[in-house]
Amino acid sequence: MTRRAVAAWVWVHRWSSLVCTVFALLLCLTGLPLIFKDELGPDLKLADTTAAPGTASVDAMVARALAARPGEVVPYLFYDRDHPILKVPTAASMTADPATFHYQVFDTRTGQQIEIPQPNEGFLYVMTRLHLDLFAGVSGTLFLGSMGLLLVIAIVSGVVLYGPFTRRLDFGVVRTGSRRRSWLDLHNLLGIATLAWFGVVGFTGVINTLAAPIELAWQANQLVEMAAQAKPAAGEGRRAAIDDVLRAVRAEVPGMNVMTVAFPGTPFATPSHVAIFLTGNTPITSRILKPALADAATGEIVSVRDMPWYATALFMSQPLHFGDYGGLPLKIIWALLDVVTIVVLISGLYLWGAKRSRREALSETEGRAA
């Protein structure tokens, strides 16, 4: 590689790193507790029972949630992936901001209500919002996505420069005698050692920031097409029991688990349909949603289809980003690599600051000599 090419790559690496490092450091720090969000979450204190999940009446749970919050509505139902519980949020309207939801949690085997802290408050909620959107909504998410893209550029340019800068050194050598040189060698070593993980997490993080545009694209295209497959039944104000809807969708798509139910009037359903989102039972299919639409008046399933490829790419990137698909051992590995990445980012800032201070001191010395 020519000297001019090396200089160009140095410029790209320096400035892409400087612009995104503070935000990348924030993402690493907030992402660390999120790796263990299940372990740090509230103790559900589920009652011991031999009843099968899903045997209690969902309509009864919804009625209890509405009775406890007069004047509010239930826009969604959320099933837990790992526990037999159902989260029933209530809100002022069907299109209310999810941040304003009040959640009530029920055991799906017994229908018993479980008292837990609200999931949209507390330490983990603050860490999640900082990690996802800096409390700035879609604009904050897209901004963090742009920082993630710069991070990917910094990783690629760092790989290109690793060879020219370390060709005369044995791999893993950290030279002594100069603090800046030791930090430089440590920065290069840790950076190349965590290259694959850092690249995967950075790239999947960028994909995750596209969740909002992907949801809008699905609503504008796939949801409209699914609703157009069947004309809703004439039934002014009539609503099928949600228990009947769930039985119908489980019969229509056997072997899959219901994860989310969106009621008519929400952004993920239509005014005349209930939307049900299901997942499979394998480690891979459990991350991919399959949407179904049911006629809100009759409970009949009118459409079932797979998510488009761009939504599937989003779902597959999420477990790779947080490392939550391999149990606690993989989470510990993810956390250790996160800590190493924090050291890489801090050492990069130190090297830039040390070089700048050295340059200023040299200019001052030359000025005095002149």
Per residue in 170-187, pLDDT (tens digit) is: 776 777 777 778 888 888
* 3-class DSSP assignment, residue 104: strand
Q: Please, what is the angle between helix 309-322 and helix 3-35, to 10°?
A: 80
As a whole number, mean pLDDT of residues 224-238 equals 70
CB atoms within 10 A of CB 298: 17
DSSP H or E segment with residue 5:
helix 3-35
* Sequence-separated (6 or more) residues with CB below 8 Å from residue 346: 25
Averaged confidence pLDDT in the chain = 85
Please write the tens of the pLDDT for every residue from 13-22.
888 888 999 9
Q: Can you give the residue ranges of every domain in the chain?
A: 3-39+127-209+327-369, 43-116
Residue 276 near residue 96, CB atoms below 8 Å = no
pLDDT value of position 205: 87
> What's the CA angle centered on 283, arms 281 and 288, to 5 degrees?
75
Q: Please, what is the angle between helix 327-369 and helix 179-193, to 10°?
A: 150
* 3-class DSSP assignment, residue 301: strand
As a whole number, mean pLDDT of residues 208-230 equals 77
Q: Please give the residue that has the higher pLDDT: either 24 or 310.
A: 24
Q: Please give the residue that has the higher pLDDT: either 310 or 342.
A: 342
Cα separation, 63 vs 226, in Å, equals: 29
**DSSP per-residue string spanning 126-178:** HHHHHHHTTTSHHHHHHHHHHHHHHHHHHHHHHHHHHHHHHTTS-TT----S-
Please write the tens of the pLDDT for every residue from 59-111.
999 999 999 999 999 999 999 888 899 999 999 999 999 889 999 999 999 99
